[in-house]
Structure formats: C-alpha cells, structure tokens
C-alpha cells in the first residue's frame, strides 16, 4: 500500500479522537491508527464530512460521533483520495452522496485495495464506493455555507481532492500536505506534477488561510510554499522514465 503502515491491524487500534473546533462551525478529529485528520463542516441545513476512516466499522463510529457536535443532518461525504485510512469507511455512508475523484472507483476496485482490505481483516466486498465522481470540481450548499471541492492536479495520488470552505478561510488538503512528517511518496504518486498542484493550492490561500493536511496540525501559506519546494527538490532527484536517444549528427 502507498501509505506508511503501522504493522498492526487497524481493527485493534482504530481509536477516534474527539471533535475539536477549528473555526466557526468547522471541526477536526483524529482517526487512528494513522492519525488522519477528519473534517466536519456544518451549515444551517446540513453538514459535510471530509474522509471516512479506515474501515466500515470506523466509518460507523465516525457517523455516530457527529451527534456530539451538531444536530443538523449529514448531507454529503468527501474522500480526499483512495488510500485505506481515508476511504475504507465509505460503506458507512451509503445513504448520502459520497464524493470522490473519478479515479477512486477504479482504485478501490483494484487488486491492491483488495489486498489491503484482507490485511485489515475485511472482505474486499465490504468496501464502499463513491456515488458522485468528479473530474475537476463541484460544490455543495449547506444552507448558509458553500463548500467547493476541486481536483487541481495529481500529486500524492492521481485523484487528490481539495475541500475549500471560503467563508471560514480553510482548505482541507488531504495528503497533498503533511505536517506530522515528510510527504508520503508511493507507487501511485506523481512526483513531477505534485509541485504544480500545490501551486494551485497556494493560489487559493491568503495570509490567514488554514490548510488542514492529511496528517498533522493545520498550517499556513508559508508552510505550504516551503513543502512545495521540498517536494520539487525530491521529485527532481527521482529517476524519470527512460528518454529516447537522439541520433548523432
């Protein structure tokens, strides 16, 4: 799998932290075992959840925990990318729109996802699937709050999504950003395109914007700019595809 693994089945360690307020009617909680940042965006008529946990059971626990934060109904779920710690809880949300990049359905149906499910003690058939697939962007109206969801390009995976809450000046960035450690490169990462995708994120941010990474504390624009530079440097050192040899003149 492309994510770092704890070596322990999440079924044994799948704790869920309490929801903490980040900004107005916007909350973050940690889902173990990979310390993933979950997001809850609350409007007057509905709420939107960012990422779903590591298993269907954890997804159900996340859903049950929402009652401690708000009494408005959950109206949509977004997965920022397909990796198990973000998307394997999708099955717990079958009755609401489940938004993902159009590549995620294929990824969750792959042999790699099935192998990861079995490692977690799950039947691959238990994994949920998105019901709303986007190529570029969509938006959700939560009453007094509009949430925009966008794919600005490839990077950590081929299907990374950003969730933008303009009125709160917050962006959920998934694993395009990490502040708990260095960014995670895997076989499904696209290192040479990742910096340009982060350029798009930087362009959305102001001096007061908080970007919530997939793992770690929220960060500001300067951190994103610095991490973009580190990713670009690392990508430059990675071997690229073989190039054709030009004939000698």
**Predicted confidence (pLDDT) per residue in 89-119, tens digit:** 999 999 999 999 999 999 999 999 999 999 9
Tokens of 4: 């770092």
* Alpha carbon distance, N-terminus to C-terminus of the chain: 46
CB 88 within 8 A of CB 120: yes
Tokens of 64: 């049950």
User: Quick one: average pLDDT of 5-9?
Assistant: 40
β-strands 26-31, 210-215 pairing = unpaired
Superfamily of segment(s) 10-237: Ribonuclease Z/Hydroxyacylglutathione hydrolase-like (3.60.15.10)
Strand-pairing partners, residue 171, are: 164, 211
Q: Which residue has the tokens 């260095």?
A: 182
Q: What digits encode the pLDDT tens for the residues 32-72?
A: 999 999 999 999 999 999 999 999 999 999 999 999 999 99
Q: Which residue has the tokens 């359905």?
A: 105
Determine the pLDDT at residue 248: 41
- 246 band by pLDDT with thresholds 50, 70 and 90: very low
Mapping DSSP to helix (H, G, I), strand (E, B) and coil, where does residue 122 land?
A: coil
User: Quick one: average pLDDT of 196-203?
Assistant: 98
Whether the predicted pLDDT of 242 surpasses 60: no
- 136 band by pLDDT with thresholds 50, 70 and 90: very high
Handedness of CA 79, 83, 84, 86 (dihedral sign): negative
Q: Write the DSSP symbol of residue 16.
A: B
Determine the pLDDT at residue 240: 59
- 14 band by pLDDT with thresholds 50, 70 and 90: confident
What CA–CA distances, in Å, run from 186 to 2, 61, 85, 189? 5, 29, 15, 5
Q: How many CB atoms lie within 10 A of CB 235?
A: 18
Cα-to-chain-centroid distance, residue 105? 15
Q: What digits encode the pLDDT tens for the residues 111-128?
A: 999 999 999 999 999 999
Domain residue spans in the chain? 10-237
Tokens of 149: 């969801």
- 12 band by pLDDT with thresholds 50, 70 and 90: very low
Determine the pLDDT at residue 238: 81
């Amino acid at each position: 799998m492309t994510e770092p693994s704890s070596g322990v089945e999440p079924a044994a360690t799948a704790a869920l932290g309490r929801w903490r307020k980040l900004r107005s009617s916007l909350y973050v909680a940690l889902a173990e075992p990979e310390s993933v940042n979950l997001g809850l965006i609350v409007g007057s008529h509905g709420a939107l959840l960012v990422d779903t946990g590591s298993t269907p059971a954890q997804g159900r626990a996340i859903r049950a925990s929402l009652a401690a934060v708000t009494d408005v109904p959950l109206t949509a779920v977004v997965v920022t990318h397909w990796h198990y710690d973000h998307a394997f809880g999708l099955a717990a949300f079958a009755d609401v729109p489940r938004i993902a990049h159009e590549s995620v359905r294929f990824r969750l149906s792959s042999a790699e996802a099935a192998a990861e499910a079995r490692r977690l003690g799950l039947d691959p058939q238990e994994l949920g699937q998105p019901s709303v697939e986007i190529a570029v962007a969509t938006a959700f109206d939560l009453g007094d709050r509009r949430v925009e969801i966008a794919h600005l390009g490839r990077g950590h995976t081929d299907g990374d999504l950003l969730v933008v809450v303009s009125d709160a000046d917050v962006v959920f960035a998934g694993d395009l950003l990490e502040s708990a450690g260095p960014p995670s490169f895997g076989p499904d990462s696209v290192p040479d395109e990742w910096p340009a995708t982060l350029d798009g994120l930087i362009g959305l941010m102001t001096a007061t914007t908080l970007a919530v990474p997939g793992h770690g504390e929220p960060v500001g624009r300067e951190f994103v700019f610095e991490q973009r530079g580190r990713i670009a440097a690392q990508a430059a050192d990675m071997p690229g595809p073989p190039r054709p040899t030009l004939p000698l003149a």
